Structure 1
Amino acid sequence: MREAILRNLAARAASDPAFLSGIRKDPERTLAAYGYDLTPEELKTVLDLRRRTALLGNRTLAALLAGGLEKRTGGPPVRPATPGGPGDGPTRPGPPGGMRRGSSGGDQRG
């Protein structure tokens, strides 16, 4: 997904009331009229945002988009970390007898 394209769409929607209104009424036609050629994944993102913000007024949505853009640093989105950290989760059981090779006292298997 091209983050720069989505950022550009958000900036235009935040600053151009006619564009925002068009996106909310007929996204595909509006995007084509403004020269945007989105990938299926990008269009899905736009349509999902449209669905999730359907109850907001245009001014509120424009303010939210503008505020979100101010917080962005310009890099690609960061993938969320997996829960926990190194060492969390299941581990391999130790050898029978409870001692591991290389532990203090040497190999204690009998």
Structure 2
Amino acid sequence: MKRSNKSPQVVKFAVIPAAGTGTRLLPVTSVVPKELIPVGNKPMIHYAFERIIRARISEVVVILSPAKRSIKRYLRQEFSKKIKLNFVIQKEPAGLADAISLCRPIIG
């Protein structure tokens, strides 16, 4: 087997699409965004961030709709000292491909 002199690639960014409306979880999501619904003793999105930090990813891009400011507040409060946070706003629901394309200026 041939050994490669190439160093392993490092994942620098994680992208979390969180702009969806959460209609499948109504009526709960009429009060709280699905990402902030508690599972155990933490909001769902908290678990994703714990895994991202454990994986030593240095930066996260979170895609939000304008109505989801509470997620932005929560993430800044809980994680701004642990990982670099970027937020992208998807103004109109136009699908996942559109949401990811909005991250291009940040992730290249």
TM over 0.5: no
**Which of the two has higher C-alpha Rg?**
1
TM-score, normalising length from structure 2?
Answer: 0.28
When you count strand as a share of all residues, which structure comes out higher?
Answer: 2
TM-score, normalising length from structure 1?
Answer: 0.28
